[in-house]
Amino acid sequence: MRLHCWRPHSFPHVITLCHADPHGVVDQRSRDIPGLRYKYMRYPQLFKVQTGLQRDNYSVLHRHWTSGLCDSKLIVKKEVPNKLATMAKLDLATVWRDIKTYRRAYLLTVVASFGGMLFGWDTGLIGGVLTMDAFQESFGLDSKSGDFANLQGNIVSVLQAGCFFGALASFYVSDTFGRKWALIIADIIFIIGSIIQTLCALGTKSLAQLYVGRVIGGFGVGLISAVVPTYISENAPKQIRGRCVGCMQLFNVTGICLSFFVNYGINLDITSRYNSAKWRVPFALQMLPGVILLVGMLFMNESPRWLIEKNRITEAAKALAHVRGKPAEDPEVVQELDDILADFNGHEKMPMVAQLKSACSNKKMLYRSSFAVILMFFQQWTGTNSINYYAPQIFKQIGLTGPSAGLFATGVYGIVKIVVTAIGLMAFTEQLGRKWSLLIGSAGQAFAMFYIGVNQAVHPPTGELDGNAIFAIICVYLFVVFYSFGWGPIPFVLSSECAPNHVRSLVMAAALMTQWLFNFVIAKITPLMLADITYGTFLLFGSCCIVMGIYAIFFVPETKGVPLESIHLLFEGSIIAGCVKDTFPSTSRAKKIRDTHYADEVEDIDGGAPKKNRSVEHVETA
């Protein structure tokens, strides 16, 4: 059995303590032994470390180190946690303790994530609005016309055009005004666009006003979508960073679901095709999360990393201390601030041309900078937005007839999305990890899409809700289950994590431009594909999901728990070899980086600043 001797200044984040004394050190917990510090005692119950301490309590065991209880060495037996056991232990008490410990970070996350709800609301409402007879009457549209599918694509996709340019502008706006004020500016632009969409078609049947409103609103949404992941990741503690960034996706799907049921309720309540309130109310209600975001952001702090980039160190220390809920002179806050300063050393206030050169300066930087773009490209080709935009039409094509039935099924689809996304953020993103979330998601999505496509090819819809149609509808829900904890939130998490600090705003702008560009493409071509190649649409998306799974194995690193300033270590050496290692928990590089980082950060026995590069002696025993 391999045992490790740890000097008093060097301890792993989770350990089981043993001693020559048969009673063991841990059994002496009734004695006051201050000073021997564990930086991260995360789940002591999993390791039989009965210290009686709360999670992340830094006042632990020592004084008897020199008084005879512990001689010169402490025998430490390392135990590796079982992932399934860890997940099984994730009870409500643990979640609630998490929320209390990081309450300020979670509050900031919730407020900023309302930006995700803005796009989600439009995504969910527009497909249902297009099927409403009152909307078609207001604009003089004929659903039986040969041009109707093309008009549908135009109305939906014009918002993505605005989003593309909003994401493009995010680099300049967020770097110039800061992440906080970039979100406020973008939100105001979105609200203006929503007002125009709500009040259009007064005295005219022209679509021009609607197009203008959607482009303006889209510009605000695109700007928000690029800034929110950056803002959250730069503020959130590394222990909950993945969960926090993923909350944007949770609010996105919540907006989708709410708008689905708004459409359903309005369609039941207002039956007249001449009452334009039937489609104006959904457009007006999307301003509600915008107002909440606007008011909430006024009370949030700026990103400490942006402040450091602008050489506003004192303000950065205050912002970091505020979101951590600790005083600015706290050793942990000071250490984190020092790490950020060291990472930005030589990169402060870099102009756009310099950032572009830095992003492409070598092979490693080029891959880190393009990684987010590739992830967002793949996310769009899962086919999720085809279902989001055109769910009523897809359910009708599968065999669910009647406008209200289609809208209700779409609403249930939204509920499934919310529930699974929430569960995924609590139990998968930080426990299962980013990489395996993508792998499992790819496999499940591919199965669902292939079944829907093959079922339509072998059993063309007859208009009756038979067994084949029912299982195809179930597969639509199955698709969203796997998407909601995999390729839904994880690309946003990885994009914001893996982008280098000094070019993060540039990388996120490029990533979200890619997302909106292909969101536009998908929105434009989906009604045409459903009309022309029918079941081939689903086979295409299923094939893309298989390609994504292969990419996740060979090119996606595991970043769970790795500090932003240490992410670069995952891109050293061979990308493929390293990412394949990350597929298996026992060889994951993220675990090794976490262990090293936690040991290096341990404070000395006098409570001074953390010491770096501590050594560990390995001792073999029988």
**Same-domain status, 121 and 66:** no
Question: Which parts of 236-330 fold into alpha helices (H)?
Answer: 241-269, 277-285, 287-297, 304-309, 313-324
Do residue 35 and residue 123 come from a single domain? no
Spatial contact of 273 and 81, defined as CB atoms under 8 Å apart: no
Determine which helix (DSSP H) or strand (DSSP E) holds 227, and give its type and residue range.
helix 208-235
- Among 507, 524, 555, which residue terminates a domain? 555
Residues 492 and 467 in one domain: yes
Residue 367 inside a domain? The answer is yes
**Is the pLDDT assigned to residue 210 strictly greater than 90?**
yes
Confidence of residue 408 (pLDDT cuts 50, 70, 90): confident
Residue 179 identity (one-letter amino acid):
R
Quick one: average pLDDT of 139-147? Answer: 84
Kindly state whether residue 100 falls inside one of the protein's structural domains. Answer: no
* pLDDT digit string, tens, across residues 507-554: 988 999 999 899 888 878 888 888 787 888 899 999 999 999 999 999
* Domain annotation covers residue 42: yes
Q: What is the CATH classification number for the domain harbouring 543?
A: 1.20.1250.20
Q: In sequence order, what are the residues at sequence separation of 6 or more whose Cβ sits closer than 8 angstroms to the Cβ of residue 118?
A: 187, 190, 220, 221, 224, 255, 286, 289, 290, 293
Residue 72 lies in a domain: yes
Candidate from 75-79, 109-113, 339-343, 568-572 with smallest mean pLDDT:
75-79
In angstroms, rounded to a whole number, what is the distance separating the alpha carbons of residues 219 and 192? 11
Q: Are 523 and 389 in contact (CB under 8 A)?
A: yes
Name residue 45's amino acid: Q
Reported as a single tens digit per residue, the pLDDT across 367-376 is 998 999 999 9
- Distance CA(174)–CA(89), nearest Å, equals 40
Asked if 276 and 392 sit in the same domain, the reply is yes
Which ranges constitute the DSSP H helices of 102-202?
A: 103-131, 133-138, 148-177, 179-199
Query: Are residue 459 and residue 367 in the same domain, yes or no?
Result: yes
Query: Of 115, 159, 451, nearest to 293 (Cα)?
Result: 115
What's the domain range around 11? 1-82+618-622
125 and 77 share one domain: no
500 plus 573 within the same structural domain: no
The Cα–Cα gap between 237 and 601 comes to 15
pLDDT given at position 4: 37
Whether the per-residue pLDDT at 91 is higher than 70: the answer is: no
Instruction: Measure the CA–CA gap between 481 and 420, rounded to whole angstroms.
Output: 6
Identify the weakest region by mean pLDDT among 72-81, 387-396, 453-462.
Answer: 72-81
**What is the domain count for the chain?**
3
**What is d(CA 397, CA 369) in angstroms, rounded to the nearest whole number?**
41
Same domain? 574 vs 539:
no
Could you tell me the end-to-end alpha-carbon distance of the chain, in angstroms, rounded to an integer? 6
CB atoms within 10 A of CB 284: 15
pTM confidence score: 0.70
In a domain, 337, yes or no: no
Over residues 261-277, the mean pLDDT reads 88
DSSP state of 18: -
- The residues, any chain, with a CB within 8 Å of residue 456's CB and separated by 6 or more, are 397, 398, 472, 534, 535, 538
Sheet holding 16-17, edge to edge: 16-17, 74-77, 2-6, 617-620
Exposed / middle / buried, residue 606 (Cβ in 10 Å: 0-12, 13-18, 19+): exposed
196, part of any domain: yes
Between 138 and 429, the more confident residue is: 138
Which pLDDT score, from 0 to 100, does residue 604 have?
39
Tell me, yes or no, whether 501 and 576 share the same domain: no
Question: Angle at CA 327, nearest 5°, toward 325 and 329?
Answer: 140
Could you say which of 522, 537, 555 is where a domain stops? 555
What's the 3-state SS for 56-125? CCCCCCEHHHCCCCCCCCEEEECCCCCHHHHHHCCCHHHHHHHHHHCHHHHHHHHHHHHHHHHHHHHHHH
Domain boundary residue, one of 555, 581, 599: 555
How far CA 378 is from CA of 251, 452, 505, 548, 556, in Å, comes to 21, 20, 20, 7, 12
Contact criterion met (CB below 8 Å) for 116 and 334: no
**Alpha-helical regions (H) of 428-498:** 434-458, 467-485, 490-498
User: E strand or H helix at 349, and its extent?
Assistant: none
Query: Is 144 in the same domain as 226?
Result: yes
Over 70: is that where the pLDDT of 27 sits?
A: no
What mean pLDDT is predicted for residues 20-40? 36
Look at residue 102 and tell me if it is in a domain.
no
Tell me the CA distances in angstroms from 477 to 36, 121, 241, 445, one per residue in order.
Answer: 51, 19, 28, 10
Dihedral in degrees, nearest 10, Cα atoms 15, 559, 234, 345: 90
Kindly tell me if the per-residue pLDDT of 613 is higher than 50: no
Confidence of residue 301 (pLDDT cuts 50, 70, 90): very high
Q: Residue with structure tokens 């989001």?
A: 388
- Does 414 lie in the same domain as 297? yes
Asked if residue 480 and residue 357 are part of one domain, the reply reads yes
Is residue 110 domain-resident? no
Q: What percent of the chain has pLDDT over 90?
A: 35
- What is the length of the chain? 622
